[in-house]
Structure 1
C-alpha cells in the first residue's frame, strides 16, 4: 500500500463527513465487507477506518469504526475508560475498490449533543489495514508512542472548529 488520504468536514453542529482513500496494490489488501451492513464489534481486527472525536479540553471521546458497510461506535469517559456503546449511526456509507485505490465515504449521525454549544473538536483519524497474509499495518495522523495507540490523547492531532453561522 502506498498511502491513505482522508477528507473531513463537519455536517452541521453534530455530524461529520469522512472520505478515506487507500492507494496501492489492492490485490495485497484484505478488503472490508461491502456486502453485509450493520453494527459489528471487533472491526479493528481487520481492514477498517476510524475516527476519534472529543471536544477541545474534554476527557471523554467517541470512537467510530467503519469497515465496508459495517460500523461500530463507542463512547469513553477518559483514556480507554468507561467504554459504552454509543447511540450513533451512520447516515450514509458508500464504498468502492478499483484500479489501485479503495474508497469509503461516511456521513455520521449525531456525534455531539444538539443541546450543547458546538466547540472545537479534537480529531484522531486512523486506519487498520490487513494484508492477504494476515499482516496488519496501522496508519494515523499521529503515533505518539512506540506502539500504535489510537486512543492516546496525543493521537487527536487535528482540530476541527465549529461551522461559522450562515
Structure 2
C-alpha cells in the first residue's frame, strides 16, 4: 500500500489516512483506494442508483488518477466520486485538452463503507486509453471534503508547496514498467 499525504499547506486531520494499492497487467490497471476515517471527518456523497459521467466531481470528495505513457507529454485524468459518478479527460500537455481516445458510456467501479472508513476499487482497461503494454507514469490523488466544508488535497507527491496542482507532471511520481505477461503489484 502506498500512502497519500495532504498538501503541505493543509493540515492533516487526526486519525485520517488515505492509501492506495495498484496492480498492473498488460491490459488493465487495478486501483484500490482505502480511506481510514475513524472519526467520520470526510463527507462522502450518498451512492446513486444510476451513476453517470459528470463534470466538476473534483469540487467534492473525489478520488483521482492521472495516467501518462512514460516519457510522453499527453495524459489522462480519471475522477471517481463515491456516489458512483465518474469522468475521464484527455490532455495533450499541461491542462491542454486533447483528442478523446475513449469515451465510455459507463465506468463501473465498486464503492463500499468499511468499519473505519471507505474503499473504492476499479479495474481500468488500458487498451481503450492506448496505454496497454507501455510503461506508465501515474499521479494518484484525492480531494477530501470535510463536513465543515474545508477541502483537503491528497497525493503521493505535491511538487508545488505553494498550492495543490495534480496536473503538474512532477506529481506523476509513480512509474510502472510495461508488463508483457505477468501481473506486477505495488
TM-score of the superposed pair, with normalisation by structure 1: 0.88
1:118 positional shift: 2.3
TM-score of the superposed pair, with normalisation by structure 2: 0.79
Change (3 A) 1:154 1:165: same
1:92 correspondence with 2:105: no
1:5-154 aligned within 5 A: 5-13=19-27, 15-25=28-38, 27-35=40-48, 36-68=50-82, 69-83=84-98, 87-89=102-104, 92-110=108-126, 112-113=129-130, 118-145=133-160, 146-154=162-170
Partners of 1:88 and 1:109 within 8 A in 2: no
1:85 positional shift: 5.4
Structure 2 gaps of 5+ residues are 1-14
CA–CA distance in structure 2, aligned partners of residues 118 and 153 of structure 1: 21
Count of residue pairs the alignment pairs up:
163
Partners of 2:42 and 2:144 within 8 A in 1: yes
Q: Which has the higher contact order (CA 8 A, sep 6+)?
A: 2
Partners of 2:102 and 2:129 within 8 A in 1: no
| Alignment RMSD | 2.1
More strand by share: 1
Which residue is equivalent to 2:8? Answer: none
CA–CA distance in structure 1, aligned partners of residues 87 and 36 of structure 2: 24
CA–CA distance in structure 1, aligned partners of residues 145 and 98 of structure 2: 25
